[in-house]
Amino acid sequence: MSPDIRDDYKWDCRLDASLIFRGKLKFEGALYLDSSFEGEIFSKSGILFIGRNSKVITDVITCDTLIIEGILKGSVNASNKVYLNSGCKIYGDIKTKKIFINDNIVFDGKCEMIKSNESIDLFAFTVSQIKDTFQ
């Protein structure tokens, strides 16, 4: 990743700081959200960037990748990865495969790491080790 992660993605849509809205936000591709939003956010495979000017209030954000520099009140279910960039504030739980945490953040919640099924090699374990796992 580059020093400014915003340069690593091509943003399909950008919602700037002058916008304040609420409702249901469903998207594909890469969304740059730098505004105030209250409601539901869902993307099966999208990348969401919450910019420095953002204040987002939601029950849960569902996406592939979340990059956050602003304020988020709500939980995150990111199927791939989460970046907590310097200055961000998140009040809620995070569930993801990978998390990257910079200095000077506020995180008030729990983090649950998703295990990737592809990385499990059943043949690397003995039969007794596998049996012990299920007891």
Q: How far is Cα 47 from Cα 29, in angstroms, rounded to an integer?
A: 6
Give the predicted TM-score (pTM) of the model.
0.78
pLDDT of residue 10: 74
Q: What is the pLDDT of residues 105-133, one digit of tens each?
A: 999 999 999 987 655 454 555 666 666 65
Q: Are 76 and 58 in contact (CB under 8 A)?
A: no
Locus of tokens 């602003």: 70
Q: How is the chain split into domains, by residue range?
A: 5-133
Residue 17 pLDDT class (50, 70, 90 cuts)? confident
Q: What is the pLDDT of residues 23-37, one digit of tens each?
A: 999 999 999 999 999
For residue 54, pLDDT over 90 is answered with: yes
